[in-house]
Amino acid sequence: MMSIRIYHNPACGTSRNVLALIRNSGEEPEIVDYLKTPPDRDTLVDLIGQMGIPVRALLRQKGTPYDELGLGDAKWTDDELVDFMMQHPILINRPIVVTPLAVKLCRPSEAVLDILPNPQQGPIAKEDGTPLIDASGKRVA
């Protein structure tokens, strides 16, 4: 069995759709409910590095203290932004998926398909009914 990890928020539809796509590839991932058990600072910095994205690109605005904390201000350094994510894990955008192929922030949910080692095993739709994968296991355009 390959090891896949998802930093998951069960209250997030995108996160639930990504989890369904991982399971549809025949894998049962390690699920980290990162609001209950956030990654430590070194892990978070490592994940950001492996994703190859700016720290700011991992900040979530919607439903978080982003605006109250003034995180849109360019004055904050990457280290300070990581500090805010450590203090308020809800600021970490999700889901982050770690597979043997890559680490990726999977928004939109179908972005996970690019890093799953195994193909999809059957049709699947998003929670809103939008088809993602057809009966042959191919991505629906």
Q: How far is CA 27 from the centre of its chain?
A: 16
Sheet strands (E) in 9-78: 30-33
Other CB atoms within 10 Å distance of the CB of residue 22: 26
Contact assessment for residue 27 and residue 116, using Cβ atoms and an 8 Å cutoff: yes
Check 12, 47, 55, 96 and give the catalytic one.
12
Q: Which helix (H) or strand (E) holds 87?
A: helix 78-87
What six digits make up the tokens of 52? Answer: 């190859």
Q: How far is CA 103 from the centre of its chain?
A: 9
Residue indicated by tokens 């192929």: 101
Q: How far is CA 108 from the centre of its chain?
A: 9
Catalytic site includes residue 106: no
Residues forming the active site: 12
